[in-house]
């Protein structure tokens, strides 16, 4: 991603990059789509290529702020996609041709359908670093809790503290657009050592201890490597 595009994204998101972002974000807030797809392991490279082309096509569309692609580090063929759009109108106006071409490319190699969920921001901060680096470690975590708990506050506190950890590049928390008790956490770290050090911090342990009684399933955290989109 160019420095000019990164600056534009930061300016667009600035009204929402605040401490304690309300869970009922305004209608004009940026919107996100988080997608997952799995291909046969031996076809992982073909999957990466198809997703990179999809990201490049989306980033040419009006209102698309960014598309981040991730490949799970320990499971070849497992991918995650994070789309960032200026607002709901821009998201709704996505050119369907790009998704259709992606699905056509994935059809002969996929072992799961493309699973996409809509999100709004809970707490965001400008990303640090120049872009995807093979040494970086990314985490995509799912947090599903009982309704009406203190989970949003716990996640906001975790994000604020984690952004100060050495080697942190990104720590954003998204809230499902329709199911307010479902969250996705997007983390970026300089390398695996920085991620490991973060996991061992007092604030990360305190967050897990406080969250555990609120969730009905084990915390779903997966480590990924970012994929560069085609130019």
Q: What is the pLDDT of residue 217?
A: 72
Task: Measure the CA–CA gap between 42 and 76, rounded to whole angstroms.
Answer: 8
107: exposed, middle or buried (Cβ count in 10 Å: 0-12, 13-18, 19+): exposed
3-state helix, strand, coil in the chain (%, to 5): 35, 30, 35
pLDDT digits 0-9 by tens, 124-174: 999 887 666 788 999 999 999 988 889 999 999 999 999 999 999 999 999
pLDDT at 22 over 70: no
Cα 185–chain centre separation:
7
From 83, 73, 114, 67, select the one nearest 221 (Cα to Cα).
73
In a 3-state reduction of DSSP, which class is residue 161? helix
**Which has more pLDDT, 14 or 214?**
214
Three-state secondary-structure class, residue 144: strand
The larger pLDDT score, comparing residue 37 to residue 149, is at 37
Q: Using one digit for the tens of pLDDT, what is the confidence trace for 96-119?
A: 999 999 999 999 999 999 999 999
Please tell me the pTM assigned to this model: 0.86
Rounded distance between C-alpha atoms, residue 130 and residue 2, angstroms: 8
Residue 219 to residue 231: CA distance in whole angstroms: 35
- Residue 218's pLDDT band (cuts 50, 70, 90): confident
């Amino acid at each position: 991603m160019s420095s000019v595009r990164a600056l534009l994204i930061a300016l667009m998101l600035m009204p929402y990059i605040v401490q304690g972002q309300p869970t009922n974000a305004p209608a004009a807030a940026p919107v996100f789509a988080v997608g997952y797809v799995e291909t046969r392991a031996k076809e992982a490279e073909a999957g990466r290529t198809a997703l990179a082309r999809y990201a490049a096509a989306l980033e040419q569309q009006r209102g698309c702020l960014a598309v981040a692609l991730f490949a799970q580090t320990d499971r070849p063929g497992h991918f995650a996609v994070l789309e960032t759009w200026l607002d709901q109108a821009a998201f709704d106006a996505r050119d369907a041709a790009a998704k259709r071409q992606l699905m056509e490319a994935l059809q002969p190699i996929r072992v799961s359908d493309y699973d996409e969920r809509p999100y709004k921001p809970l707490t965001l901060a400008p990303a640090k670093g120049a872009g995807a680096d093979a040494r970086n470690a990314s985490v995509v975590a799912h947090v599903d809790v009982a309704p009406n708990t203190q989970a949003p506050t716990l996640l906001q506190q975790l994000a604020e503290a984690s952004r100060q950890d050495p080697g942190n590049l990104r720590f954003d928390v998204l809230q499902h657009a329709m199911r307010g008790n479902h969250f996705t956490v997007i983390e970026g770290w300089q390398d695996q050592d920085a991620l490991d050090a973060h996991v061992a911090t007092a604030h990360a342990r305190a967050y897990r201890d406080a969250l555990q009684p609120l969730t009905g399933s084990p915390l779903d955290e997966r480590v990924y490597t970012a994929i560069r989109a085609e130019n």
